[in-house]
Amino acid sequence: MTKRTRGTDEGARLLRRNAIRIGACAALAAFASACAVDDAPRADFVTAWDDVVPVTNAGPAPPSRLDPVVSIGPKTLTDTGSPEEFGGVTSVALGPNGNVYVADARNREVRVFGLDGSHLRTFGREGEGPGEFGSLYSLAWVGDRLLTLDPGQARIGQWSAEGQWLGQQNTMTGLTGNQRLVRLFPVGPDEAFFFTLVGSDYQRVYLGLNSRGETGDTLTWLQGPSSGPRSFIECRYDGGIAFFDIPFAPQFLQHPGPGGVRYSALSSDYRIFVTRNEGSEVLKVIARSLPAESFTGDEWRAANQEYYDWLDRPDRSGASCDPRTPPRPDRKPFIVDLFVAPDGKLWVEVLRTAGNLWEIFDADGKLLGSVPAPPRRDDVVPAFGPDYLLTIRADSLDLDHIDVWRFAPSSPES
């Protein structure tokens, strides 16, 4: 089996956008030939939208703000052992009842809190039976059911709001890897997707499901444009393999949407494409005008320091890296990531030198507001409710906190 290298262990960050290559594929090494980087459909549709008039958002964003609602986590060292001290949060979700559901992967349980921060209940435990977890990657609400993704036991669990086990749906065995990809993607009140492999050729797809356990739309995972600069460095050494992001290089981003559509973008261009039929049908183009930003030589060196430190280790002297020297982009990308919220809004995290922003668009592509992005762990995806943002943040003691924010757009009268 190919040895996998993770950033926390080897000083190499797992490549975010190509993590499935060393996640699911390494876990299914016997079928590694199905995981070549160029075997998925390409997103060359980004150059074929001449008949679509973009929804262009220029100028300053409408006034808006993120109001803090609650922060859930240990306030002092005396809180040790309390429900607010988490072993390791991998996912959060805002329930239709207004409660916050937290996946504590280390303790193999879900903890529930009110929007006032009060602990309401805990359910689940480690084990192999109904209502137990071998692993706990992700949470999502569909209808009146909470779904829990447990790739360790190859199943998606179904729970009531009170924590009653309602059943399960089996998934592909052995699919592990980057939790930014191997997770649940809630995109509507009763619609979510999860990433999996299907068929004898292990095709990578987003598989839709609902509260009745039925699968809906199936979206093939797209590899991205077939041309353009490299976004990662691949290093092979002593039978192992490591991946490193090339700082500020364009990335291909995608997210399933409701009704079988897909949202996707190149991070270097602030244009989000809403497409159908594996990207061949462009339904909408959401564009935003922002000035490009450059970066200094000091920023470039600092951003690559982790890679060069790894390469300078004595046991890496024979490493073969492609490319050996990361090519320097001419400017910073615009987009860090994009998310489709269950209420139909599009949340785009924007990279800015003065501080990242969240820019929020309605279902028609109209910009509703632009707000400073609160600090958060970048290895755990945020969660969204109707005008809510939930982020996970680690404090100075490396203890996790869940911060809940409410988005307040300007009113027509203001």
Tell me, what's the pLDDT at 171? 85
Using 50, 70 and 90 to split pLDDT, how confident is the model at 20?
A: very low
Q: Which residue reads 């290089």 in tokens?
A: 249
Q: Strands 383-385, 191-198: parallel, antiparallel or unpaired by DSSP?
A: unpaired
| Residue 325 included in any domain | yes
Predicted confidence (pLDDT) at residue 269 exceeds the cutoff of 70: yes
The torsion angle over the Cα atoms of residues 113, 118, 120 and 125, rounded to 10 degrees, is 60
| Residue 143 included in any domain | yes
Tell me, what's the pLDDT at 59? 93
Helices (H) and strands (E) in the chain, counts: 3, 31
Tell me, what's the pLDDT at 1? 18
- Assign 99 to helix, strand or coil: coil
Residue, of 28 and 146, whose pLDDT is higher: 146
| Residue 303 included in any domain | yes
Q: Are 195 and 181 in contact (CB under 8 A)?
A: yes
| Residue 386 included in any domain | yes
d(CA 278, CA 222): 8
pLDDT per position as a tens digit, 299-335 = 999 999 999 999 999 888 889 999 999 999 999 999 9
**Domains in the chain, number:** 1
Question: What range does the domain containing 318 cover?
Answer: 3-409
d(CA 33, CA 72): 44
Predicted confidence (pLDDT) at residue 147 exceeds the cutoff of 50: yes
pTM over 0.85: yes
| Residue 248 included in any domain | yes
CATH code for the domain of 97: 2.120.10.30
Q: Are 270 and 33 in contact (CB under 8 A)?
A: no
Short-list 69, 66, 163, CA closest to 115: 69
Using 50, 70 and 90 to split pLDDT, how confident is the model at 103?
A: very high
Tell me, what's the pLDDT at 295? 95
| Residue 161 included in any domain | yes
- Assign 310 to helix, strand or coil: helix
| Residue 85 included in any domain | yes
| Residue 414 included in any domain | no
